[in-house]
A and B are shown apart, each in its own frame.
Chain A
Amino acid sequence: MQSSNNLILKTTTTIIVFVILAFSVNMLFSGHNAPGGGFIGGLMGAGGFLLLYISYGLQPVHRILPINFTYMIAAGLLIAVLTGAGSFLLGVPFLSHTFAYFHFPLLGKTELATAMLFDLGVYLTVIGVTMTIILSIAEDKIEREAEEGN
């Protein structure tokens, strides 16, 4: 995943990454009513980030997007657990979900579900997991090659 001077790849990446990430977010939000959901969305999002890393290399991407994906796992799990624990406040069992319809300006009639928050937790965890695994292995490989080079 070293940066190369592949101009075509870099140019297409800049366009495609946004499409992928937008699709991933779309999957997350539409998951309740159409195929998709946190898991697929998360994997798709991770795919988008991966594409960035592949075309630009580890260091440059890390400078632009200083995200610690390991923390993202924790954040995702925390959100999922807290969503579940939130039902205690209303005196119902763990992980009970509810939903309601609201009218927003611009969006019109919109459904808001607590399950969505839970899915967000899944989404973040999956991105964090995938990126942590792949980046750990990749960084290790680069370090090793650097050592062998010396």
Chain B
Amino acid sequence: MLHFYIFLPFLAALLIGISAKRVSRIHTGWFVLPVPVVLFILFSTKMPILAEGKIVQSVANWIPSLDIQLSFYLDGLSMLFSLLITGIGSLVVLYSIFYLSKKEQLVHFYVYLLIFMGSMLGVVLSDNVFVLYTFWEFTSISSFLLIGFWFYREKSTYGAQKSMLVTVFGGLSMLGALILLSITAETNSIRTMIANRSEIIESNLFIPILILLLLGAFTKSAQFPFHSWLPDAMEAPTPVSAYLHSATMVKAGIYLVARFSLIFSGSDEFFIIVSGIGLITLCIGSFLASRQTDLKGILAYSTISQLGMIMTMLGFGTGAAALAAIFHIFNHATFKGSLFMIAGIVDHETGTRDIRRLGGLYTFMPISATLAFFGAFSMAGIPLPIFNGFLSKEMFFDSSLKLEQTSGFAGLFAEWAPILAVIGSIFTFVYSMYLVFGTFTGKAKLGQLEKKPHEAPIGMLISPIILIVFVVLVGLLPNLINEPLLAPAVASITGDFAITHLAFWHGFNTPLYMSLIVVVIGTILAFTLKKWQPIYNAIPGKFSSDYWYQSLINGLLKFSSVFTKSYMTGSLRLYTSIILVFLTASTSIFIYVTDGFKISFDDLAPVTWPEVLVGFVMAVAAIATIWMTQRIAAIIVIGVVGYGLSLLFVFFRAPDLALTQLIVETITVALFLLCFTHLPKLKKSDKKSSEKLVDFVIAASTGALLTIVAISSHSSKYFDSIAKYFVDNSYELGGGDNIVNVILVDFRGLDTLFEIAVLGLAALGIFAMIKYRDKGDMNH
């Protein structure tokens, strides 16, 4: 059945793509909406099965010879993600129906969105690592298409390209890790890998696997230093930002780490890398969020920092931390989704997302404002038990305090973790307050807005209302989702199924004091934000990841351009030199390495004086050609070489060759004379003597090489020539005494056939070049 769940969105995308344009009066989104809703209900019905600690699975063959099967399974972790994908997917589709006008290219939008939904389901449900990778790249591609949805905007295409480059870079490293994993574990199934995890841990490929896999997870989940694509992806339509870049796709990396943490967790490397990067991301993301002026920019950095927090908890690797991480995944999806939707509403109803131009919207849009306050307070972790964000943040503090790492660098790091967590949370508090108070309180600047603000239509508000209801409901009654949803999910990370009771109120303990510190310092910082905001300007641009990305791309483009231009100059002379140098160098190295040079004086014919004389004249003529100042003279001197060759053929008793060489040489010389009269006089070479020297060295070494090759190949005959067969059978089989001719027309007639075909083509080519030369000009 799981196959049907995953391929339903793809099927729907196909149907919508074909048929939606025919029913243009109804918004396409209404046809899409049933898909995630039905899937959500179907997934929900499986919850009781999981609560008993069982799993659902289904297998189908795809490429059996490579052991790649479409094997899907639904355990607690997959269930949590599937419900988020389909649940928030439904809400986002509903929201987008009211957000996007019918003038937009809705078919494209929903097709991309459905493809994304299906592939995301594929990622979280796959058991086969290569199927997982396939769906992973599908999410990258559909996300790329969605970010560039308004493709006529330069910023959209820039953001789309950036996210594509970063996530595909990570995706490919992940593929590397998956291949190494499947080699090490000798299986393609994730669950078998987890079962045989000792093989992987003990193998010497452990560190490469870990790093490559984490590269994939970090790029997808926008962790430091790969976070810079996420703020640029905010050029996507807001439903996309709400869906992909807060609730689902950016959590694919989280999913990956959670899924494989049964293998890696416990190792110091995993702890330091994942928690370290997570904490850095948490602090940097939350610190930079208050710098932004764009509502979605703030939310993007906030997403980065929250993802960092989840990553940190996954890195801790304790049962409590896993529960906190899972709980926060759920909470973050609810409040961040609703905040994005409200940012979209503000944008939609006022015409701007610039927080400097917004303010005092509370009176104009009271419902949205209330929702935003709930969402932001939950995000900040205000210590009131009606916000689910507070509960998961408490658990985060708690787990950071109870780290068991005691020795070495990991232990040192573990001591610092709670402090960093508090610092990150303080800034989280600051930007959350900055976001809601800056938008909804203060004086309204109606003059700066494009539209007169008013409350959004009810259809747009339904989705954020539902999400905020979850925020409060889960905040009040955390055990509502604990038993059916969180416990099985934690079980898939930690490996044992145990229901931890989520306390509604922890009482007065260290985490609560940490929360209070966060609130006190956060409030002070939030009130004095205007005073210390100039600090941001003091940070040089060099420290931003944008700067590094941009200089990397520019540097790469510049380097490849300079590199290509350095040898692709268009000069045939240079290309010839390169070819000759490469030929000479590679062949000489080969001869040297294989000790291929041989010289033997056996089997040599006696040298006669006429041969020496002719050879000497040919050599003199060949060398003399170089110094000729006129073309005609050069042609005639070259002719001497040709006639000398035909004389040598006579000496070597090859009458057919001699005749052919004689006539061909005559015709060639005649043709040269005919053509070269058109050419201007030879210019005196203006090359420097150093360049001439280089040319000379290249020419001389190529000549020397060919001489060596000729000597060596003559000296090392490993088997007899087949010539004897032709000599013996020429008359018997070919009916002729002229062996050369019999070979040409009978034994090897095919060669001759194609040689005359070459001649014919050459003649036709010359004919066409000459006769149709001016036709082009005449047509103009």
A35 touches B770 (CB 8 A): no
B660 touches A94 (CB 8 A): no
Interface string of B643-674 (1 = CB under 8 A from A): 00000000000011001100110010011001
A37 touches B766 (CB 8 A): no
B746 touches A137 (CB 8 A): no
Which residues, 59 to 76 on A, are CB-close (under 8 Å) to B?
A: 70, 73-74, 76
Interface string of A105-132 (1 = CB under 8 A from B): 0000001010100110110011011101
A106 to chain B, nearest CB (A): 21
- Residue with the highest number of chain B CB atoms closer than 10 Å, among A32, A118, A119: A32
Which residues, 60 to 106 on B, are CB-close (under 8 Å) to A?
A: none
Which partner residue on chain A sits nearest B678 by CB separation? A141
Interface string of A36-70 (1 = CB under 8 A from B): 11111001101100000000000000000000001
- The answer, yes or no, to whether A138 is at the interface (CB within 8 Å) is yes
A37 touches B738 (CB 8 A): yes
- The answer, yes or no, to whether B762 is at the interface (CB within 8 Å) is yes
Q: Decide yes or no: A129 and B741 within 8 Å by CB, A80-B753, A136-B771 being known contacts.
A: no
A48 to chain B, nearest CB (A): 12
With a cutoff of 8 Å between Cβ atoms, the chain A residues found around residue B749 in the complex are 84, 95, 97, 115, 118
- The answer, yes or no, to whether A6 is at the interface (CB within 8 Å) is no
With a cutoff of 8 Å between Cβ atoms, the chain B residues found around residue A129 in the complex are 756, 759-760, 762-763
- Interface size of A in residues (CB-CB distance below 8 Å): 46
A43 touches B663 (CB 8 A): yes
A33 touches B737 (CB 8 A): yes
Partner of B770, one of A76, A99, A137: A137
With a cutoff of 8 Å between Cβ atoms, the chain A residues found around residue B752 in the complex are 80, 118, 122
Q: Decide yes or no: A34 and B737 within 8 Å by CB, A122-B745, A138-B674 being known contacts.
A: yes
- The answer, yes or no, to whether B742 is at the interface (CB within 8 Å) is yes
A39 touches B660 (CB 8 A): yes
With a cutoff of 8 Å between Cβ atoms, the chain A residues found around residue B753 in the complex are 80-81, 84, 95, 118
- The answer, yes or no, to whether A31 is at the interface (CB within 8 Å) is yes
Bound-state Cα–Cα, A94 to B756, Å = 17
Q: Decide yes or no: A37 and B744 within 8 Å by CB, A32-B735, A44-B663, A130-B667 being known contacts.
A: yes
- The answer, yes or no, to whether B700 is at the interface (CB within 8 Å) is no
B654 to chain A, nearest CB (A): 9
A40 to chain B, nearest CB (A): 5
A133 touches B766 (CB 8 A): yes
B671 touches A134 (CB 8 A): yes
With a cutoff of 8 Å between Cβ atoms, the chain B residues found around residue A118 in the complex are 745, 749, 752-753
With a cutoff of 8 Å between Cβ atoms, the chain A residues found around residue B742 in the complex are 32, 115
A95 touches B750 (CB 8 A): yes
Q: Is the interface of A mostly helix, strand, loop or mixed?
A: helix
- The answer, yes or no, to whether B266 is at the interface (CB within 8 Å) is no
B770 touches A140 (CB 8 A): yes
Query: What's the interface size class on B, roughly?
Result: 35 or more
B763 touches A133 (CB 8 A): yes
- The answer, yes or no, to whether A25 is at the interface (CB within 8 Å) is no
A113 touches B771 (CB 8 A): no
Bound-state Cα–Cα, A134 to B565, Å = 40
- The answer, yes or no, to whether B734 is at the interface (CB within 8 Å) is yes
A86 to chain B, nearest CB (A): 12
A126 to chain B, nearest CB (A): 7
A125 to chain B, nearest CB (A): 4
A77 touches B738 (CB 8 A): no
Interface string of A81-98 (1 = CB under 8 A from B): 100100000000011010
B184 to chain A, nearest CB (A): 54
Interface string of B711-747 (1 = CB under 8 A from A): 0000000000000000000000011111011101110
Bound-state Cα–Cα, A39 to B757, Å = 13
Bound-state Cα–Cα, A80 to B749, Å = 9
Partner of B767, one of A37, A99, A132: A132
With a cutoff of 8 Å between Cβ atoms, the chain A residues found around residue B767 in the complex are 70, 132-133, 136
With a cutoff of 8 Å between Cβ atoms, the chain B residues found around residue A40 in the complex are 656, 659-660, 663
Bound-state Cα–Cα, A103 to B760, Å = 37
B656 touches A36 (CB 8 A): yes
- The answer, yes or no, to whether B18 is at the interface (CB within 8 Å) is no
A144 to chain B, nearest CB (A): 9
Which partner residue on chain B sits nearest A81 by CB separation? B753
Which partner residue on chain B sits nearest A99 by CB separation? B735
Partner of B675, one of A31, A36, A99, A137: A137
With a cutoff of 8 Å between Cβ atoms, the chain A residues found around residue B670 in the complex are 134
Bound-state Cα–Cα, A113 to B659, Å = 23
B737 touches A32 (CB 8 A): yes
- The answer, yes or no, to whether B585 is at the interface (CB within 8 Å) is no
A32 touches B736 (CB 8 A): yes
B738 touches A97 (CB 8 A): no
- The answer, yes or no, to whether B764 is at the interface (CB within 8 Å) is yes
A94 to chain B, nearest CB (A): 7
With a cutoff of 8 Å between Cβ atoms, the chain B residues found around residue A97 in the complex are 734-735, 745-746, 749
Bound-state Cα–Cα, A111 to B738, Å = 14
With a cutoff of 8 Å between Cβ atoms, the chain B residues found around residue A47 in the complex are 663
- Residue with the highest number of chain A CB atoms closer than 10 Å, among B737, B742, B759: B759
Partner of B760, one of A38, A73, A140, A141: A73
A7 to chain B, nearest CB (A): 24
B741 touches A36 (CB 8 A): yes
Q: Decide yes or no: A119 and B745 within 8 Å by CB, A40-B660, A43-B667, A97-B734 being known contacts.
A: yes
Which 5 residue pairs across A and B have the least CB separation, nearest first?
A99-B735, A32-B736, A35-B655, A129-B763, A33-B737
The contact sample of 16 A-B pairs, CB cut-off 8 A, is: A31-B738, A36-B738, A37-B741, A39-B660, A40-B656, A40-B659, A46-B667, A73-B760, A73-B763, A76-B760, A84-B753, A113-B735, A119-B741, A129-B762, A132-B764, A136-B767
- Given A35-B740, A43-B660, A115-B746; 16 other pairs, CB 8 A cutoff: A32-B735, A32-B736, A32-B742, A35-B655, A36-B738, A40-B663, A73-B759, A80-B752, A81-B753, A118-B752, A129-B762, A130-B763, A132-B763, A133-B671, A134-B670, A136-B766
> Chain B: residues with CB nearer than 8 A to chain A?
655-656, 659-660, 663-664, 667, 670-671, 674-675, 734-738, 740-742, 744-746, 749-750, 752-753, 756-757, 759-760, 762-764, 766-767, 770-771
